């Protein structure tokens, strides 16, 4: 059905699907014909969208969930063997959408979830009307002809700092990631980072840094909207150009006049109109 307006009763979902809905704290809120799935990035949980929801819930059905690595999910459910790559997270996303009996939806993914959405859309393009990719990067590490923003040595230093003193790492990383001078956003990001079990946080960080999805971008046939801040220390602007050049579907770019990697926390009033515009097309 157009716009993904069939959101079924979760009780009707299959056994494994209904269990996953419970484990990942899936919620459906709002009203309207269009269905929007909001998927958070590393170090946050679904509460990261709290400042965006009021802009969307009046005329959209919003699906919220937590990635299995989030601190809001029972860490016993994190399978270190299964979640070595982003493919398992894409499996979860597809199972959530299918279990809710959603025909098709708009997908908004932040950071690592942008890549999770890309993998899911390659596998099941029928489920997605459009991907809205915030702070997306197919590869964080530099390569010969590609500037991802980090050298291998930079990544190793991050891992060492996380392992040596997780609390100190969070206190240093959170303000750098937020970028903009928004203390409330730094506090909120710090809170959800601290909620993660440190060994899971380190494992996921390594998985993300080791990911390289450049080779599959051309397989995306779903329209995409890339949303990027004017300065993001995690994702250089050159990555946006790479995504636009290589994504297989029709792709537009929106640059927000603010800094940082988490505009939904630090600049929701700037991000929300961009999202609404992307959702209207």
Active-site amino acid positions:
111, 232, 261
Spatial distance between the Cα atoms of 118 and 248, rounded to a whole number of angstroms: 11
Sign of CA pseudo-dihedral 51, 133, 224, 273: positive
Q: Quick one: DSSP state of residue 4? A: G
- In the block, which residue shows the tokens 């157009």? 2
Strand order in the sheet with 34-39: 27-30, 60-64, 34-39, 105-110, 128-134, 224-231, 251-259
Q: Which residues pair with 200 in a beta bridge?
A: none
Spatial distance between the Cα atoms of 70 and 42, rounded to a whole number of angstroms: 8
Pseudo-torsion of CA 28, 54, 129, 34, nearest 10°? 70
């Amino acid at each position: 059905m157009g716009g993904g307006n069939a959101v079924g009763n979760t009780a009707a979902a299959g056994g494994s699907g209904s269990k996953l809905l419970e484990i990942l704290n899936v919620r459906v809120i709002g009203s309207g014909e269009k269905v929007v799935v909001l998927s958070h990035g590393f170090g946050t949980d679904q509460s990261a969208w709290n400042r965006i929801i009021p802009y969307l819930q009046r005329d959209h059905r919003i699906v919220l969930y937590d990635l299995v690595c989030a601190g809001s999910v029972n860490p016993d459910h994190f399978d270190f063997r299964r979640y070595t790559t982003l493919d398992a997270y894409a499996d979860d996303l597809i199972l959530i959408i299918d279990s809710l009996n959603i025909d098709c939806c708009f997908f908004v993914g932040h950071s690592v979830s942008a890549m999770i959405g890309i993998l899911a859309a390659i596998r099941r393009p029928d489920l997605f009307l459009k991907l809205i990719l915030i702070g997306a990067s197919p590869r964080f590490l530099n390569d010969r002809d590609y500037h991802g923003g980090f050298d291998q040595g930079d990544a190793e230093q991050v891992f060492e700092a996380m392992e040596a003193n997780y609390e100190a790492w969070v206190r240093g990383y959170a303000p750098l990631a937020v970028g903009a001078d928004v203390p409330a956003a730094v506090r909120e990001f710090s809170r959800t980072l601290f909620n993660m079990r440190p060994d899971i946080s380190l494992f996921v960080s390594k998985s993300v840094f080791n990911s390289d999805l450049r080779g599959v971008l051309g397989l995306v046939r779903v329209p995409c909207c890339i949303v990027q801040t004017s300065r993001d220390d995690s994702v250089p602007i050159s990555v946006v150009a790479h995504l636009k050049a290589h994504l297989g579907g029709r792709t537009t770019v929106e640059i927000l006049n603010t800094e940082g990697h988490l505009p939904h926390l630090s600049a929701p009033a700037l991000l929300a109109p961009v999202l609404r515009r992307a959702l209207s097309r």
